[in-house]
Every structure is written in C-alpha cells, then in structure tokens.
Amino acid sequence: MRKPRELKNRVLEGSALLSQTVLLIGAVIVLIPLLVVLLTSFWPPGAMTSGSSETIAGFQLWPAAGWSGQSYQQAWSGGHFPRAFFNSTLVALAVTGLQIFTSALAGYALARLRFWGKQAVLLVILATLVIPFQLLVMPIFLILKEGHLINTYGALILPTAANGFGIFLMRQYFQTIPIELEEAAALDGANRLQILWRVILPLSRPALVTLFLFTFIGEWNDLFKPLVFTTRPELTTVQLALASFQEQFTNDWPLMMAAVMIATAPVILLFLIGQKQLIQGVSTTGIKN
C-alpha cells in the first residue's frame, strides 16, 4: 500500500514542480520587455536613437554616461501629462462608479428576483459581450451629437456607463451568497435595496474589486473613445497624450519609454494592490450558473 501511495505523491510533486517551472518561464518572458522599457527610460534623452548600434548590434542596456531621470522630466512636461492624468482619472473613476452601480442593481435583479423573461434578458446581456464597441460607434456618435455631448466629459463617460460583463460578474457572485442571509434581513424588516446595500454588497468585496480593476484599467487604457468623440485639447486623456507624444519623439527611445512608463505606472500599481481580491473574485464567480 505504501509504494503506490509514495509513487502517487512523487507524481503529484513532479507535476507541481513542472507547473511552477512553466509559470516561472512564462513570467520571465512577460517581464523581460517591461524590464527593457524600464531600463531604457533611464537613459539620458537623445542618448539612444532609432537604428543605432547601441540598440540593434550591441544590445546595450546600460548608458555609458550613467542613469538619469531627465527623460521622465521632459516626458512629463513635454507630453502635457498633468492635464491628461486628471482627465483619465476623472473619466475612469466616473465610468467605474457607474458600472458598479448599474452592475450591482442589474446583477442582483437577475440573481434573486423572479420576473417574466428573465432568461431572455440574461441572454441579451451576454450577447452584448460579443459585439465590438467599434460597431456601435456611429449610433453612439449620433446620440451624443443629438444630446450636444460631443467634446464633453459626457462623451467619454456615458457610452460605457453600463457593461454586460459587469452585470454578469455581479450576478454570478451574488448567487454564491446564501439566500438565508437575505431572508433573515427581510424578517428584520429590511427591503430589497437595504438588503443589497447592507448585506449583499459588503459580502461581495472580491467581485466589486474585480469589477473596479477591470473597468478602471480598461478606461485608463482606452484610446478609441477620446480619439472619436473629442477634439478639444483640454479633454486629452493619457493614452491620447501618449500617442501624440510618440509621434513627436519617434527616434528618441529614452523619452518614448519614459512616457510609456508614466502612462503605465498607475495601472500596474493598482493591479498590485488589488491582485489578491481580483484572483478571489474571478475564481469565485464561476461556482454557480
């Protein structure tokens, strides 16, 4: 009896070691480009040009003149990032707040309420996940134009104020919460909104953090909406400022990489802070159908 059990344990240990090795190799492959971008961003401006022997023949990552933060200073001021950061933060937080609000209400209704056509509504919501946003640009643009919202913050916020993914995510998580908790709250006199606010949402922190991260990062990295729905320079977002900056400094790699790191740093930091809740939320929302 011991030999088969020992053999099984060795197989499991070998499988775990193989999985960890594969994951480690994958992590290294993913992180190497980020490391190259980070190191390049600390070169002095103009020290590395496109097509130079330093970047193609020699693969030199350490500058001969030493590290410098001057590229970050020039990229921050030259790319007009302060205003762009304000716009992106405002839009991302507004869209995230609206999506959490609409997803919580719709997700709770689909998870707990009984009404005619419930499954049809769920199928329609799921169907919206396969429709690219680019296909909806023309009707959305016409609606925003009729509402005099073009070149306003409303044009950047309202088109994505609700999202099928968020509704489905919250619905799936709400179904994992024991209904007995809601019944106990109802016996104490709480109505549906009070149950949702005081019982369900406090227990749904992993799902809320997951939705917050996905939505905020998606809006922060969005280039399409600002490019189509706005033309005013004061509404420039981070990604639009980054694209414009790269057009001006195509051959100056340190400046370009510094601008990339400036635009990327907030979402990387946000992900590192919320990664535990993100993993828990994603792993839990598929338990029930």
Q: What is the pLDDT of residue 110?
A: 93
101-157: per-residue pLDDT in tens?
999 999 999 999 888 988 999 999 999 888 888 888 999 999 999 999 999 999 999
159-183: per-residue pLDDT in tens?
999 999 999 999 999 998 999 999 8
Supply 246's token pair. Answer: 């790269």
- The proportion of the chain whose per-residue pLDDT surpasses 70, expressed as a percent, equals 84
Q: Which residue has the higher pLDDT, 51 or 285?
A: 285
- C-alpha closest to that of 110 among 160, 162, 169, 158: 169
pTM value is: 0.84
Q: How far is CA 280 from CA 5, 39, 169, 206, 216, in A?
A: 32, 33, 13, 6, 18
Q: What is the pLDDT of residue 142?
A: 93
Q: What residues contact 286, with CB distance under 8 A and at least 6 apart?
A: 172
**If phi over 0 gives left and psi between -120 and 50 gives alpha, with beta otherwise, what is residue 117?**
left
Q: What residues contact 114, with CB distance under 8 A and at least 6 apart?
A: none
Per-residue pLDDT band for 9 (boundaries 50, 70, 90) equals low
Helix axes 205-220, 164-174, angle to 10 degrees: 170
Distance CA(245)–CA(255), nearest Å, equals 9
Domain ranges within the chain, ordered by starting residue: 2-70, 77-284
Between the ranges 7-16, 71-80, 260-269, where is the mean pLDDT highest?
260-269
Supply 3's token pair. Answer: 């030999």
Per-residue pLDDT band for 68 (boundaries 50, 70, 90) equals confident
pLDDT at position 221 over 80: yes
HSE-CB for 93 with a 13 A CA cutoff:
7
Task: Quickly count: other Cβ atoms within 10 Å of residue 262's Cβ.
Answer: 22
Fold of 77-284: MetI-like fold (1.10.3720)
**Dihedral of alpha carbons 184, 189, 191, 194, sign:** negative
Q: Which residue has the higher pLDDT, 59 or 197?
A: 197
**Secondary structure E strands in the chain:** none
Q: What is the pLDDT of residue 103?
A: 95
Average pLDDT score, the chain: 84
- 47-75: average pLDDT: 61
Please report which helix (H) or strand (E) contains residue 93, including its range: helix 81-112
What values do phi and psi take at 198, rounded to 5? -100, -20
Task: Check: CB of residue 281 under 8 Å from CB of residue 172.
Answer: no
- C-alpha closest to that of 237 among 258, 218, 253: 218
pLDDT at position 287 over 60: no
